[in-house]
Amino acid sequence: MPSAQAPSPQRLLILGGTGLCGPHQVRYALERGHTVTLFNRGRTQLPPDIAADVEQLHGDRAAGDLRALQGRTWDVCIDNPTTLPAWARNSSQQLAGSVDRYIFISTISVYADLRGPVDESSVVHRYEGTDPYAESMETLRASGFQLYGPLKVVSEDEVRKVFPSASAIVRPGLIVGPGDQTDRFTYWPLRLRRGGEVLAPGSPDDPVQFIDARDLGEWTIRLAEQRATGVFNATGPGEPTTFGQVLDTIRATVDANASLTWVPADFLEQQGVSPWVDMPAWVPPDGEAGGMMRADIGKALTTGLTFRPLADTVRATLAWFDALPQERQEAARAGLTAEREAQVLQAWKKAATPASP
């Protein structure tokens, strides 16, 4: 169904725009009657159905090449891909006086203590390195991405310096859905569709949060339309949800003959099975990152964040994945291999079986 027209069409500048959320933002913005300009390196292409309707400017923020933005004005800038503070500093300073408002897509990983629930007032990380502006993607990877949250905090601050009363900071949780190249959520629809005995982590009552990239992208456009400012956690669903409910919904959606065997978190740890990577989209609720799945999203809900049914996300994700080249489909980027899953299940059954007298 076509989207309703926005009350007042705007000129949107989207930094990035070709990754996970960008195409969904662009498509929705065009449907709402906005004019869209993208600025990126030009290495990833927009889907053909929207590419012709978008102005595309090219440059490289990592190299400090922002010349294509000079002498132009827009109503709103949406900054999708910034990871490093130097990028945020350079782009926000370049756009001072060229855009009225700046929406920065950050991350829930900015919070310093994720052992429990967090809201937008929770304490954030503090960068403890030598120079945040000298950090690179190489140093970020070398840190095992431990610098990711602290560097995002510095990036948020750079945006606020230039747009103190005209910025919105969006802190998403796990982003899922069609276009997600991490396979973190995709693992579960694929695994349940395959059927058989499925290793399910922890307890079916463990909380879980994530957001469909389409819901996040479309809400970001509505946030721009509302001239909203401030900080917003952005994850979902709208009501508390458990991992058991998610897996049951996925199983029903793919109509698979699959059974779930729930294996406790402590046993998975003993087996060297890690949350988030081996068991994607899940973290133990009492662990160091348990609060990732208990973020307060009340502020975002008041500004109109909405969620499509999980079954829609499952179907769209599988349709997208099934259209990928065969070699990509065979190179899963998250989750256990079938062989490793079988080994852990066998070990759990052996450990859970009472010894004979």
67-90 tens-digit pLDDT:
999 999 999 999 998 889 999 999
The pLDDT tens digits of the residues spanning 115-160 come to: 999 999 999 999 999 999 999 999 999 999 999 999 999 999 999 9
**Average pLDDT estimate for 295-300:** 97
Q: Which residues pair with 105 in a beta bridge?
A: 170
The pLDDT tens digits of the residues spanning 220-261 come to: 999 999 999 999 999 999 999 999 999 999 999 999 899 999
The pLDDT tens digits of the residues spanning 81-115 come to: 888 999 999 999 999 999 999 999 999 999 999 99
More confident position, 2 or 42 = 42
Peptide bond into 201 cis (omega under 30): no
Residue 356 has pLDDT above 70, yes or no: no
| CB environment 149-174: b (16+ within 10 A), e (fewer) | bbbbbbbbbbbbebbeebbbbbbbbb
**Of the candidates 66, 218, 228, the residue with the CA atom closest to the CA atom of residue 163:** 228
pLDDT band of residue 162 (cuts 50, 70, 90) is very high
Tokens linked to 229: 């400012």
Phi/psi of residue 318, nearest 5 degrees: -65, -40
**Using CA atoms, how far apart are residues 44 and 22, in angstroms rounded to an integer?**
11
Residue 357 has pLDDT above 60, yes or no: no
Grouping H, G, I as helix, E, B as strand and the rest as coil, residue 174 is: coil
16 and 80 Cβ atoms separated by less than 8 Å? yes
Sign, CA dihedral 298-83-221-245, equals negative
**Using CA atoms, how far apart are residues 39 and 22, in angstroms rounded to an integer?**
11
Q: What is the mean pLDDT of the chain?
A: 95
More confident position, 139 or 353 = 139
**CATH superfamily to which 177-209+239-293+309-349 belongs:** UDP-galactose 4-epimerase, domain 1 (3.90.25.10)
pLDDT at 120: 98
